[in-house]
Amino acid sequence: YGAPSIILTLFFLLILLIFSLAGLGMGDTKLLALIFFGLQMNSVLDMFLFFTLIFCAALMQIGLQSLVTRRFPNSIAMAPAIFIGLGLYLATGTH
């Protein structure tokens, strides 16, 4: 274990840059970085699974918020989706 490979770290930083340009907040970016380095992801597949689970949780959050307010939200808080995605990632046991 230890630090992730330089290629994986650069790939992760590229993903964070793209998300930041798309409107991800700095707090969410720092949270994702802490999780990435804390979990010591070793492959792109692990990272892809993690981000896929976060997106699924965010889609569920958008859907539920749309049903409750009867309008599509302009923005959402990503921290709940990140924590739910993290929980689902840890539950898969692939790490």
74 Cβ neighbours under 8 A, 6+ residues apart: none
Residue 94: is its pLDDT beyond 90?
Answer: no
Degrees to nearest 5, angle at CA 8 with 6 and 14: 100
Q: Taking the alpha carbons of 91, 42, 26, 52 in that order, is the dihedral positive or negative?
A: negative
Q: pTM of the full predicted structure?
A: 0.87
Per-residue pLDDT tens over the stretch 26-69 = 999 999 999 998 888 888 898 999 999 999 999 999 999 999 99
- Report d(CA 51, CA 32) in Å as an integer: 10
